[in-house]
Structure 1
């Protein structure tokens, strides 16, 4: 077995299960180190007993490399695969999952994600996506490394270069753009016009009174460049938790339907946003939907099944899910 493949797969499975970041980083770092080695160097170091002297390779990652080079499935990888296969699968969602073509919401280490753009895009393609949208944060979210206009322009050039190598898979340019308190968007208008897909989300003043929050969301989803309303209630279910933002859902979802802005079904386990009650309201309003992982690491790109299960449970029509659309249809809608 190729040791880099084994190390990357272990990191993927750890990310998928929300393991501690330091554990994931150990395997991704080791994969990068082995990739940079000269042909045959890893095997030579195993034979000489010097593998663990290499910076970035520790006892556990060295054991994985040794077992892989010996033609075995590393024991640690085998255990993680068994644990993953033993997880109870949602009873619903498989049919819709099979129809998905992409993901409109993922982050890289350019903002608060944990992996390079290359790793996120490569993993999306390996999962069978035809396309995915890179949506790092906008400038005012400094705590998450939001991209200034200059950095976003640099990122556009990087994505263009990678797409030359990745065809037919396509990494689309995008942003998770903060919705400011007055409903305006946190990025230069001319830059927003250049992007393939714009996700708009609230990250500040989440406990605003319902009336101004409703006006804030209505203004944002009606913005000409807005394509997807991200995690609309802002709730968090884990840790100390965070309550839902309060707003007139009927008015906001009606605005989404009129503007053609999709409501995101966020698949992060700590979000699962919107709640089922609001998801059913969005269905009644006739909105479009985007089933997105909001992935901050490659393994999290495999979370869409949870969103698909909730979508089927709440009666979301498959043809109204933009992440099930082929690239040409998606770009025509988002353009």
Structure 2
């Protein structure tokens, strides 16, 4: 096994397992250091036992490099793969039908990897497109993009699409829904984007009537394509209760305006809960099964969302990211007209 590839696969597997960011970065940093070595230096350092003298190479990464260079699968990787949750190996028709992902993040905001690395991981999954939806300006804790920075990101995406074709990186944003339901970016910029995921990140415990009006205003905005993690809940160790709102009214508005309800696949979100997912299904909503990935390995979390969709009787015909890029964009243009 080639050492750089082994380190990257370890990092990817750690991301799939939701490992701490610093641990993932250690292996990605080591891979980057190795990739920059002059020809022959790795072999020399292996022979002399001086790998750990390189910046960014510690005991764990050095052991993995040494084992990979000897043609073996590193023990670290073997253990990670053995502990991989079986549900992530999803061969269901719904998972196979997914062509893209409407909700991903990069180092432009609070993601851990550049857009290119995210796109390359999506290609490895067999996808034909991916929307990069970094945060909007007011979410400062997540390094949200100002209008100027978003403009620069659009230029980067255009260059990547020339290089990665036929794969497509769709331009996008996860735009904050402000307290009055307005969106945290200019209408002119939102109109230029391929995918707008609108989400609430603040005042999640506001009164139900106010939250309902907030969501209804956002859903009625012609630039919105997807309503992101609608209840804002967290499950597991960092539990957070659901926001309260009139779900019948909000999902009816989503169906009326053609806004897809996101089925968020992050293990700590799994949002919306099943009862609301079933209600949205019955009200005629379409859905986007999204990873909300902040790292390449997290793109592999889509099976969590697929499982919830299957449990609620939602088939591929109701999921917008089963469309290819051209059909998806045509749908967005039609509903925004």
Q: Compute the TM-score of the two structures, normalised by the length of structure 1.
A: 0.96
Deviation track 1:193-250 (CA, whole Å, cap 9, x = no partner) reads 1111000000011111111211111111111110000000000113341111111111
Distance in 1 of aligned mates of 2:107 and 2:88: 30
SS of corresponding position for 1:239: helix
Aligned to 1:312: 310
- Over aligned residue pairs, what C-alpha RMSD do you find? 1.4
Residue of structure 1 equivalent to 2:103: 105
* More divergent stretch after superposition (198-207 vs 42-51): 42-51
Alignment partner of 1:66 is 2:66: yes
2:32 pairs with 1:5? no
Instruction: Show the counterpart of 2:265.
Output: 267
Q: Deviations over 1:6-26 (max 9, x none)?
A: 001100111111111111111
- Partner Cα distance (1:165, 1:45) in 2: 34
Q: Could you tell me which residue of structure 2 aligns to residue 32 of structure 1?
A: 32
Tell whether the 8 Å contact from 1:234 to 1:273 is kept in structure 2 after alignment.
yes
Pair 74,225 (structure 1): closer, same or farther in 2 beyond 3 Å: same
Structure 1 residues 280 and 92, CA gap change in structure 2 (3 angstroms): farther
Question: d(CA) in 1 for partners of 2:28 and 2:21?
Answer: 10
Report the Cα distance in structure 2 between the residues aligned to 1:209 and 1:78, rounded to whole angstroms.
49
Q: Give the one of 215, 221, 238 matched to 1:223.
A: 221
Aligned to 2:319: 321
Q: What is the aligned length?
A: 333
Partner of 1:146: 144
Give the superposition deviation at 1:92.
Answer: 8.3
1:179 CA displacement: 0.3
Determine which of 164, 173, 176 is the counterpart of 1:178.
176
Q: In structure 2, how many angstroms separate the alpha carbons of the residues matched to 1:274 and 1:264? A: 8
In the alignment, the residues of structure 2 paired with residue 281 and residue 329 of structure 1 have an alpha-carbon distance, to the nearest angstrom, of: 26
Q: Is the deviation greater in 27-36 or in 116-125? A: 116-125
- Unaligned runs of 5+ residues in structure 1 are none
Q: SS of the residue aligned with 1:200?
A: strand
2-side partners of 1:47 and 1:79: how far apart? 26
Partners of 2:310 and 2:263 lie apart in 1 by 11
Q: CA deviation at 1:116?
A: 1.6
Q: Distance in 2 between matches of 1:76 and 1:90?
A: 19
Residue matched to 1:239: 237
Instruction: Please give the secondary structure, in 2, of the residue aligned with 1:89.
Output: helix
Shift in Å at residue 317 of structure 1? 2.9
Task: Note the alpha carbon deviations across 1:125-147, whole angstroms, 9 max, x for none.
Answer: 11111111101000000011110
Where do 1:248-287 residues align within 5 Å? 248-287=246-285
Partner residue in 1 for 2:54: 54
Conserved 8 A contact 1:93-1:310: no
Instruction: Determine the structure 1 residue equivalent to 2:112.
Output: 114
Between the aligned partners of 1:300 and 1:94, the Cα distance in structure 2 is: 19
Contact in 1 for aligned 2:94/2:315 (Cα 8 Å): no
Q: Deviations over 1:249-268 (max 9, x none)?
A: 11101111111100000001
Is residue 82 from structure 1 mapped to residue 82 from structure 2 by the alignment? yes
